[in-house]
Structure 1
Amino acid sequence: MLASRSRSDHLGDMTKTLFCFGLGYTARALVRSLDDGWRCIGTSRGEDSAKVPPGVEMHQWPGRRPSLDGVTHLLISAGPSEAGDPVLADFREEIAARADKFDWVGYLSTTAVYGDRNGGWVDENTGVAPSSVRGDLRVAAERGWQSIPGLPLHIFRLAGIYGPGRGPFSKVRAGTARRIVKPGQVFSRIHVDDIAQVLRASIAQLRPGAVYNLCDDDPAPPQDVIGLAAELLGLPLPAEVPFDEAGMSAMARSFYGENKRVRNDLIKSELGVKLLYPSYREGLRALLKVETEALERKSDAWF
């Protein structure tokens, strides 16, 4: 039976089963990009079924406990809470017992683990130094996964994610977008399709224990992104709003409390990745085309 074989027994097998804890926006992008040789399973808290890619077996979790029998590839995109990592809480013992049955395990983390660097550069060799609660939780989760012996773990530290349905255009169209300016502030970001291609490249080139930063080539001020979105839509440039006068929520302000530039050299040199969208400029142009076509179809279900 597939579930009883060791990792080396099925490395060349055509039967590949991906189990996604948390079939959210990023995991769905990966699933859609895989070829027909994959069986895909995912969990959801009860998300809109219209967003689930065809052919994916879904389980409501938390709820009924899903089986990991036959799973060869495991993606964890469910984020931690103050109670800890939910997957480790429910499945650590089972995953540890099956560690040698998995070909690849991917954990989606965040660049928040690096904390605030006053605009300086970080790479995978930079020590973690979280400066926010969400960063603390991610560091704890990473260490929890790293503590499982023999697990072929690959950690992916994601910058700000954008893509279809998650870009600036809807707010710019609605007139609610603001160009909030904090001098010197930049954010790194990455298109969801580039996340998917990095994950596929990692699956094809295993290196258990690897940590990768996932971001584009151009950390940029957030007001520049909004400005380009308005330009592409042919709409007036939203007025600049000083950060101290923006009246942002505590959560939104916390993101501005971290200022760093993230390097992505390793995904290129080790995995051979060529970014589809090396900056927000290419990404927004492609995104506008996709979203415009979706509006014309009156459908955004796949976002």
Structure 2
Amino acid sequence: MSRLFAFGLGFSAQALAARLARQGWGIAGTARDAAKAGQLKARGYAAVRFAGEPGNQELVTELQGATHLLHSIPPGPGGDPVLAHYRDDLAKLGSLQWIGYLSTVGVYGDQQGQWCDEDTAPTPNSARTEARVAAEQAWLAFGTETGVPVQVFRLAGIYGPGRSVFDKLRAGTARRINKDGQVFSRIHVEDIASVLEASIARPRAGAIYNVADDEPAAPGDVVAHAAKMIGMTPPPEVEFAEADLTPMARSFYEGSRRIGNQLIKSELGVTLRYPTYREGLASLFPEHQSQARLKEKL
């Protein structure tokens, strides 16, 4: 039986896991704390608490029989925690047929608004994205050494049910930061799952794929569009230089780039269900209409 093990069975991994579970796959993975592991178990998944530490024998036990491995845990100060502590255990598995490493388009750094594809050389502009590039290379090298096909997926900004600009608008945390020429690429979580499914069906060792929709856009445009959909006044624009942002939030504005996605279409045959943020937000709109009606009744 096919069995997926996900290091970091979170938002993106669960979208894939739900599809595979419906096809009869076994699903196992890790969560950072016991509460989240318990939630995964309630969904019928085998879950192990893992926060990057070595010597987790429960984890090693659950790895046995895994045919497909998905990794979404970001590297830490010591590099990739999985390869750092469980490289030998993974190398000994004779069952693995596919490994997917979820990275970020942030590895391209600042492209000054230009388009970049998988042939564009990474130019990381922070310690965080430098660590990502190193982790990508380490996993590709692991695939070469073991003969297991490793694929790297560079994800654009992820959104989906329960994690979208609608949620930020209703929570009062949405902001419209204006920075001249700034654009971001995005991807709906279900389109991520489609790309991963397509790669599982046709693995290519050493492949790197950009996973983004068709229309990079200024973040303020997306906020304004979503606000209009739910009848809210959009938050006022704030100039980037005057915005009070956390260091993490500010780092996201240090690079402007448009992410090309042709390879997932030409090689994997993927047709995006949500080719722009408009279709993606439209798919999430009924969810927020239901929330609004519930609040009115209360």
- State the TM-score, normalized to the length of structure 2: 0.90
Equivalent AA in structure 1 for residue 48 of structure 2: H
In the alignment, does 2:87 pair up with 1:92? yes
Counterpart in the other structure of 1:195 = 192
| Structure 1 segment 1-303 matched on structure 2, within 5 A | 15-34=1-20, 35-46=22-33, 47-48=35-36, 49-50=38-39, 54-62=43-51, 64-65=56-57, 66=59, 67=61, 68-98=63-93, 101-148=95-142, 149=145, 150-293=147-290
Alpha-carbon separation, structure 2, partners of 1:83 and 1:69: 25
Secondary structure of residue in 1 paired with 2:120: coil
Secondary structure of residue in 2 paired with 1:101: coil
1:229 to 1:83, Cα distance in 2 relative to 1, 3 A: same
Root-mean-square deviation (CA), in Å? 1.8
User: Does the aligned pair in 2 maintain the 1:28–1:52 contact within 8 Å?
Assistant: no
Structure 1 regions of 5+ residues with no counterpart?
1-14, 299-303
Alpha-carbon separation, structure 2, partners of 1:53 and 1:253: 37
Equivalent AA in structure 2 for residue 27 of structure 1: A
**Deviation of 1:53 (Å):** 6.7
Alpha-carbon separation, structure 1, partners of 2:153 and 2:294: 34
1:52 to 1:259, Cα distance in 2 relative to 1, 3 A: farther
Alpha-carbon separation, structure 1, partners of 2:91 and 2:294: 46
Equivalent AA in structure 2 for residue 18 of structure 1: L
Aligned length: 283
Equivalent AA in structure 1 for residue 202 of structure 2: Q
Alpha-carbon separation, structure 2, partners of 1:33 and 1:294: 26
Q: After the TM superposition, which of the residue ranges 57-66 and 238-247 deviates more from structure 2?
A: 57-66
Counterpart in the other structure of 1:7 = none
Alpha-carbon separation, structure 2, partners of 1:237 and 1:230: 5
User: Does the aligned pair in 2 maintain the 1:165–1:291 contact within 8 Å?
Assistant: no
Alpha-carbon separation, structure 2, partners of 1:241 and 1:137: 31
**Deviation of 1:175 (Å):** 3.5
1:137 to 1:297, Cα distance in 2 relative to 1, 3 A: farther
Secondary structure of residue in 2 paired with 1:74: strand
User: Does the aligned pair in 2 maintain the 1:154–1:208 contact within 8 Å?
Assistant: yes
Q: After the TM superposition, which of the residue ranges 62-71 and 74-83 deviates more from structure 2?
A: 62-71
User: Does the aligned pair in 1 maintain the 2:40–2:47 contact within 8 Å?
Assistant: no
Secondary structure of residue in 1 paired with 2:136: helix
Equivalent AA in structure 1 for residue 252 of structure 2: F
User: Does the aligned pair in 2 maintain the 1:96–1:151 contact within 8 Å?
Assistant: no
- State the TM-score, normalized to the length of structure 1: 0.89
1:73 to 1:243, Cα distance in 2 relative to 1, 3 A: same
User: Does the aligned pair in 2 maintain the 1:112–1:132 contact within 8 Å?
Assistant: no
